[in-house]
Amino acid sequence: MNLSDNMPVHVGVIMDGNGRWAQLRGLPRAQGHRVGAERAKEIIEASAELGIKCLTLYTFSAENWQRPASEVSMLMKLLELYLKKELATLVKQGIVFRSIGELWRLPENIQALIRDIEAKTASNTGMTLSVALSYGGRNEIIRAVRKIVASGAADELTEERFSDYLDTSGLPAPDLIIRTSGERRLSNFLLWQSAYAELYFTDTLWPDFDRAEFMAAIRDFQRRERRFGGIPERTNAS
């Protein structure tokens, strides 16, 4: 089987384990997040090179606001530095940047950076990189329902139309969800969108989840038979 065969169109990643990675090494949690940010860059580049059309990274959940204020502040500063540093790279690589979640809860300078990057990459034609910030799947669904009620379109609602009211409107549903660090759950990530996604769990902590680990997840996906309540979508040789 060639690596280019049956490539997932949309991959979602729950990047878990930064804090534990640092603690295991006697380092501050901040160092785990810094290394994790560099690992995210590596996986973004690998995804673009593979021809994956959409990559969604679970960067900061709605529940993460409950962490100590000092850690939240550090994460926001790291996010600001990362966005400023990587803009030129995103433009050069033709990547479209998109954010999902309750962005209004983020610091105003972060919101402004996000709007700027989204505007400057909107005309790009490469991979779409979606970053989930202050995001929760249940909250997203509730917000979508409120939009539908406000629009008066509830009586004409279908699954397809409902998807148009989600933060991910216009993006294909994820084919593959990857979670690192040994946890085996979605943790409120893309709950509606992941109804038929293949799930891949690994014990590897996110800062150690390198290109080789990512390729292993992709190959695992390619060997699976995808079923949607009927005949397998495809059968791959192992």
Question: Which amino acid, one-letter code, is at 14?
Answer: I
Catalytic residue among 16, 18, 167, 188: 16
101: Cβ contacts below 8 Å, ≥ 6 apart:
60, 62, 132, 133, 134, 135, 136, 140, 167
Q: Does the annotation count 64 as an active-site position? A: yes
CB 61 within 8 A of CB 103: no
Catalytic residue among 6, 64, 124, 236: 64
Which of 35, 33, 51, 43 has its CA nearest to residue 13? 43
What's the rounded Cα separation, in Å, for the pair 96 and 50?
Answer: 16
What's the rounded Cα separation, in Å, for the pair 60 and 129?
Answer: 15
| 3-state class (DSSP) for residue 157 | coil
Q: Does the annotation count 16 as an active-site position? A: yes
Centre a 10 Å sphere on the Cβ of residue 59 and count the other Cβ atoms it contains. Answer: 23
Question: Which amino acid, one-letter code, is at 225?
Answer: E
Q: State phi, psi for 64 to the nearest 5 degrees.
A: -65, -20
Q: Just list the catalytic residues.
A: 16, 64
